[in-house]
Amino acid sequence: MKQNNRVSLSPAYLFAWLVALSLFFSGPAQSQMTEKAVVTSNRTQTMTAPTKINIAIGGQNVRVVLDDTPSARAFIARLPLTVRFEDYGSTEKISYLPRKLTTEGEPAGYTPVAGDFSYYAPWGNIAVFLKDFRYSQGLIRLGYIESGLQVMKQEGEHEGIITLLDD
């Protein structure tokens, strides 16, 4: 007669055994990940200061912090630049550029907020948003107004001299 050598395990014992196994296998990996994160966070990283431009309008200054994007870099390459800002729809001040900027690698559009400094690719103009607006296809954010938005809110057309700041 053949004897049954099968061992019966209680559900509690089986559960405890599975938990122990999972801790055993995840423990070293977890500590390696933590170690790696610490090593990564302790590395010296070269951080560059954000690029800033100034828009001089009638003796007043508008400071803009530019994003690090292909379109913003193409805009910087055009500076210094004298432009004429005009009101557009009580929402923004716009100025047409002599030549269009690159849009390669940029999102298809975005939803601007008050203070955004943007480029509208279909028309080839820069735009300073005076108030929040809806999503616009072809609109590319170049940066944001750090100070002087009230200067841009003055009614009428304004000549602006845009220069790169050496901060």
Give me the tens of pLDDT residue by residue for the chain, a chain 167 residues long.
Answer: 445 555 555 666 555 555 554 555 544 444 333 333 333 344 444 447 899 999 999 999 999 999 999 999 999 999 999 999 999 999 999 999 999 999 999 999 999 999 999 999 999 999 999 999 999 999 999 999 999 999 999 999 999 999 999 86
Query: 153 forms bridges with which residues in the sheet?
Result: none
DSSP code of 67?
P
Looking at the structure of the chain, the number of domains it has is 1
User: Which pLDDT score, from 0 to 100, does residue 62 have?
Assistant: 98
CA–CA distance, 40 with 103 (Å, rounded to integer): 33
User: Which pLDDT score, from 0 to 100, does residue 77 have?
Assistant: 96
User: Which pLDDT score, from 0 to 100, does residue 28 have?
Assistant: 44
Dihedral, CA of residue 105, residue 110, residue 115 and residue 120, to nearest 10: 60
User: Which pLDDT score, from 0 to 100, does residue 166 have?
Assistant: 86
Instruction: Tell me, yes or no, whether 24 lies in a domain.
Output: no
Instruction: Tell me, yes or no, whether 30 lies in a domain.
Output: no
User: Which pLDDT score, from 0 to 100, does residue 27 have?
Assistant: 47
User: Which pLDDT score, from 0 to 100, does residue 16 have?
Assistant: 58
CA–CA distance, 34 with 56 (Å, rounded to integer): 49
Q: Give me the CATH number covering residue 155.
A: 2.40.100.20
Instruction: Tell me, yes or no, whether 32 lies in a domain.
Output: no
Instruction: Tell me, yes or no, whether 15 lies in a domain.
Output: no
User: Which pLDDT score, from 0 to 100, does residue 3 have?
Assistant: 53
Instruction: Tell me, yes or no, whether 38 lies in a domain.
Output: no
Instruction: Tell me, yes or no, whether 3 lies in a domain.
Output: no
Instruction: Tell me, yes or no, whether 14 lies in a domain.
Output: no
Instruction: Tell me, yes or no, whether 150 lies in a domain.
Output: yes
Domain extent at residue 106: 52-164
